[in-house]
Structure 1
Amino acid sequence: MNKRKTRLQAILEILTNNVIGSQEELSRLLAARGFVVTQATLSRDLKALRTTKVATDFGGYRYVVMQPGEVPVDEVWEAVPSTAQSGTHHAVESIALAGNILVIKTRTGYASGLAYDIDQLDSPYLLGTISGADTVIAIVNEQYSRTEIFDSFLGFFPDSVLEKARDQFL
């Protein structure tokens, strides 16, 4: 295996088994494994591995590997489990539906992680998301009723947020 492939595999292993929030932190862990790289090389490697930063439940950020099955290495690693699998998103402050656009307001810094988790749901009710610092725009699939869409969010968004928005989905 060539040096780049070995390094990419090491990055995948580090990101899969650790919460890494910065390139500096990742660089130190790579150096401990014998891979001394420049920041530019590390950025190219992270891009090649299709990583992204998402908000953690604790207010920080972490790198996650998007679509690990498409990573150009010999071994496929499991994706980092998303918080979509762990229950309600308490950082969500409100939701509003306008036509087929769902606007989701979050605490500052949580929108990216929420958008990631929504995308990981692979729901037929939603076509995709776009996130900012405190807002997620989700495009709703108009093939489904608003009631079906609302029901799909039970247990995902806080009950208090859903209750305030219920009238928009009836």
Structure 2
Amino acid sequence: MKKRQKRLTAIADILLNNIVGSQDELLELLLQGGYDVTQATLSRDLKTLRTSKIPTEMGRYRYVMGGVLPPDKDVEKGAAGMVSRAAIESVTMSGQLLVIRTRNGYAGGVAYDIDDLHSPYFMGTIAGADTVFVALTVDAPKSKILSTLSSILPEELLSKRYDAHMRDKTIEND
């Protein structure tokens, strides 16, 4: 893995697992992880990762990543995929609606990643701060929806939803 890609992955990991409110705090955490970078380099990296600052419940601010990256940027895609998988906390399906709960501030990036899948089963998304609503087509089979989402859902959530779907299907078929 190249040096820049490792650094971007490290920044993504830090932002996903810590409340970081300033570049100075992030520079310190990077230094502790063995990455000695300048403020200018960090600013470019934050721009590349499409970070933004959102208010926290405590009245402070924190950096979050939207997971939105240009499609030709293969170096950064690994970090973006990690963001969506780490940001999603739960998935619930009811009729023609899929409700995805995310960590605060990450719903917009997850919605973008879902829209970017270009699935014929998804009519559109609406994102709040921590919730994504996905409108499904009438004939959307649950197994196809789960298969389509497999690239962005955390493995443990995907297997839980699949197992629950199979139990529901068995009960419905009895």
Select 2:93's aligned residue among 89, 92, 97: 97
What percentage of aligned pairs have identical amino acids? 34
- Higher helix proportion (structure 1 or 2): 2
User: After TM superposition, which residue ranges in structure 1, 4 or more long, deviate above 3 angstroms?
Assistant: 18-22, 78-88
Select 1:121's aligned residue among 89, 97, 117: 117
Q: In the aligned structure 2, how far is the partner of 1:94 from the partner of 1:105?
A: 5
Select 2:131's aligned residue among 129, 135, 152: 135
Matched, 1:160 2:164: no
The Cα shift of 1:168 comes to 3.7
Select 1:60's aligned residue among 58, 64, 67: 64
2:86 is paired with a residue whose SS is: coil
1:90 is paired with a residue whose SS is: helix
1:34-70 Cα distance to aligned partner (Å, 9 max, x none):
xxxxxxxxxxxxxxxxxxxxxxxx94357x79xxxxx
Matched, 1:109 2:105: yes
Aligned alpha-carbon RMSD (Å) = 3.5
Distance 1:97 1:143, change over 3 A: same
How many residues are treated as equivalent by the alignment? Answer: 108
1:60 is paired with a residue whose SS is: strand
Distance 1:124 1:115, change over 3 A: same
Select 1:150's aligned residue among 146, 151, 156: 146
Query: What amino acid sits opposite 1:147 in the alignment?
Result: S
Q: In the aligned structure 2, how far is the partner of 1:80 from the partner of 1:89?
A: 20
Q: In the aligned structure 1, how far is the partner of 2:136 from the partner of 2:88?
A: 18
Q: Which runs of 5+ in 2 are unaligned?
A: 1-43, 53-61, 170-174
1:111-157 Cα distance to aligned partner (Å, 9 max, x none):
01111111111111211000111100001122231111111122320
2:98 is paired with a residue whose SS is: strand
Query: What amino acid sits opposite 1:141 in the alignment?
Result: T
Q: Does the Cα contact within 8 Å between 1:83 and 1:117 map onto a contact in 2?
A: no
Q: Does the Cα contact within 8 Å between 2:117 and 2:148 map onto a contact in 1?
A: no
Q: Does the Cα contact within 8 Å between 1:96 and 1:168 map onto a contact in 2?
A: no
